[in-house]
Chain A
Amino acid sequence: MNHHFTLPNSGHNYDAKASKMGMWLFLYTELILFGGLFLVYMVYRSLNQDAFLLASFNLNVWMGTANTIVLLTSSMTVAMAISALQKGDPKKSIFLLWMTILAALVFLVVKYFEWSAKFEHGLFPGMDHFNQLPNGEKLYFNLYFFMTGLHGLHVIVGGIFIVIVVFKIKSGKVNKDRYQLLENSGLYWHLVDLIWIYLFPLFYLIH
């Protein structure tokens, strides 16, 4: 009567494949979340083409371009961090992850200056200047603040996720043989980049 149970993962609470699939399933929901917002944008823009065009002149193309380059670069460093850990070089991996976090901070600082400029001009929903705008331009700024705000929130979450991974690599919990958490944080970070790839032309480059 010797009942001996063997867990499917041999008692190891780690399953890289399932973990990765779980992360991707979550990313699909994120794509649909932002996808829905892009549909709202598409409808309102087609109904208010001239207003959207006028309102978009309030954004600084060069700040948007700078932030695009910052995010693309951070996507490269996080991808390289995964390669580094796979090759058994945790120090290099940690360095590349700090570079990614630095890029996240640069992105947020640029966003801060962009948003501050809008606040100074009273363009945030509810402010004086905003209230006097025609409906189409109001819609543009509502969508601008909501979509870049939600994206900014994702930048913050992704940055925190990567900081957690850095400490797990330092303590050895994430290592050459168990790096799925690092890969998942990388996938999340690439998604943040992917969303920005669409936000940038739709808000900054429509003129």
Chain B
Amino acid sequence: MKNQHSIEESHSEHITSYREHFGTWVGLILLTLMTVFISVFGADLRTITVATALFIASVKALVVAYYFMHLKYDPRIYRVLITIVMSLFTVFLIMVILDYLTR
């Protein structure tokens, strides 16, 4: 019985507050409006806007993963694993770029 009890309590203790979720949402909306604004009104700075748009998208993705997906409060293994997966993707990315640059 004791063992059974410990399993039922094996959920992570941390409960994110509504206020923190709302704050995360506000941040994400502001970043979205910023990226739209830069794109629509900075059309003549083409390469800069693409780089900025991707940078802002990555910040948003990190915020979603860290706060909404709870990575910030999860055991460290989850942050380690996602880092490995993203590194793997970066390797694919570099290999594809090298392939196309050397044709």
Q: Interface of A with B (CB < 8 Å)?
A: 6, 9-12, 14-17, 24, 28, 31-32, 35-36, 39, 42-43, 46, 53, 61, 65, 68-69, 72-73, 75-76, 79-80, 82-83, 86-87, 177-180, 183, 186-187, 190, 193-194, 197-198, 200-202, 204-207
Contact = CB atoms under 8 A, between A and B. Distances in A.
Contacts of A179: 11
A69 B32 contact: yes
Given A43-B96, A72-B32, A83-B21, A193 B39 contact: no
Question: Which 3 A-B pairs have CB atoms at the shortest separation, nearest pair first?
Answer: A201-B53, A205-B39, A10-B4
B78 A75 contact: no
Interface string B20-57: 01101100110010011001100100100110011011
Interface string B45-81: 0100110011011001100110111100000001001
21 contacts: A10-B4, A10-B7, A14-B7, A15-B7, A16-B7, A28-B82, A35-B92, A65-B36, A69-B32, A73-B25, A83-B17, A86-B11, A177-B9, A187-B69, A194-B61, A197-B57, A197-B61, A201-B57, A204-B39, A207-B43, A207-B46
B7 A12 contact: yes
Given A16-B10, A194-B61, A198-B61, A76 B17 contact: no
B35 A75 contact: no
Contacts of A187: 69
Interface of B: 3-4, 7-11, 15-18, 21-22, 24-25, 28-29, 32, 35-36, 39-40, 43, 46, 49-50, 53-54, 56-57, 60-61, 64-65, 67-70, 78, 81-82, 85-86, 88-89, 92-93, 96, 100
B17 to A, nearest CB: 7
- Residue from A80, A177, A180, A201 with most neighbouring chain B CB atoms (10 Å): A201
A32 B85 contact: yes
Nearest to A31: B85
Contact of A10 (B3, B17, B60): B3
B68 A79 contact: yes
Contact of B64 (A17, A75, A201): A75
